[in-house]
Structure 1
Amino acid sequence: MKPMGQEVSLHVDAPVAAVWALVSDVTRIGEFSPETFEARWTKGSTGPEVGATFAGHVKRNGVGPTYWSPCRVTVCEPERVFEFSVGTDAVSVNNWGYRLDPEDGGTRVTEYFRLQPALAMRVYWLLLGRLRGRTNVNGMRTTLERMRAVLEA
């Protein structure tokens, strides 16, 4: 079976520390994402650390009804990896993250997602994976390009 996820990378002419500060500040995602137009830390969390929680306010494909998605930080390696799961404490639906690598005086930023390997997610990916994957790739590219514009300004 094909991997249930995808990634997009691009070079940013900014130091890793600056890129980290941006990708790990979930309260700024609304400036960049075509789907998640705001986010806020929840349950007493105030910043990026493993176990911190936040909620993302989402409008799927930029249209239709909005909803809040609960998220939990699962990997937080400053200036290297910031990853979070989407779902409840009991059920995680997918994971999103950013990997940062120094490159040519700047940073190679990779945004990625992967679905949890539950049977329902396998069926979802089999039926809608190509369409949803294309939407996610386009959204990740847009997000990273918007971040790059801010970081290189």
Structure 2
Amino acid sequence: MSEPSASARIEIAAPAQRVYELITDLANLGTWNSECRRARWVGEIKEPRRGARFVGSNRNGARRWSTRCTVTAAEPGRAFAYHVRAAGVLDVAVWRFELTPTDEGCLVEQKTWDTRGAFMRVVGGWATGVPDRVGHNTANMATTLENLKRVAERR
């Protein structure tokens, strides 16, 4: 895969498996994610497994929108990734969390690849209130990972 359009990383003093469980716990995602406030499994598969689908409810200030996501990688304690679409059909992004065990816990890397075409860049910027998606994602990832760290280390 090409270089991500935005990425961030953080050391967390918790086992990789515990952090993976937090990342894939859609019911509690909003407690640490800075933009996605809620998510829920849809379809027959209701667990973090390749091919599973979920709907994410996102917010930026007063703007709210939802996305449909398909899990592309689900490796407990190692990686969780998903492809995001608007209206279920228009490409938006690929998001990926990678976890690497360390002596103190794990290194967590969050990456995203912007897959929007020209139409979705214009419409997406207007709908979300985010004209600079790369800059916005970079800042949000740092906040998201700090929040994830706080939650993971508290357990």
TM-score (norm 1): 0.84
Question: How far is 1:147 from its partner?
Answer: 1.0
Q: Are 1:105 and 2:90 an aligned pair?
A: no
- Alignment coverage as a number of residue pairs: 146
- Aligned match of 1:131: 132
Deviations 1:131-153 (A, max 9, x none): 32121111111111111111111
> What SS is found at the alignment partner of 1:144?
helix
The match for 1:147 is 148
CA shift digits 1:98-140 (9 cap, x unpaired): 0000123310001111022x6528x949xx8993212111111
Displacement of 1:65 in angstroms is 2.9
Counterpart Cα distance in 1 of 2:96 and 2:151:
19
Write the deviation string for residues 73-122 of structure 1: whole angstroms up to 9, x where unpaired.
Answer: 01112211100011165443211110000123310001111022x6528x
Q: Distance in 2 between matches of 1:26 and 1:112?
A: 18
Which residue is 2:43 aligned to?
Answer: 43
Match of 2:84 among 86, 101, 109: 86
Q: Percent of aligned pairs with the same residue?
A: 27
SS in 1 for 2:132: helix
Gaps of 5+ in 2: none
Partner letter of residue 104 of structure 1? D
Match of 1:54 in 2: 54
SS at match of 2:7: strand
RMSD of equivalent CA atoms: 2.5
List alignment gaps of at least 5 residues for structure 1. none
Q: 7-16 or 34-43, which moves further after superposition? A: 34-43
Moved over 4 A (4+): none
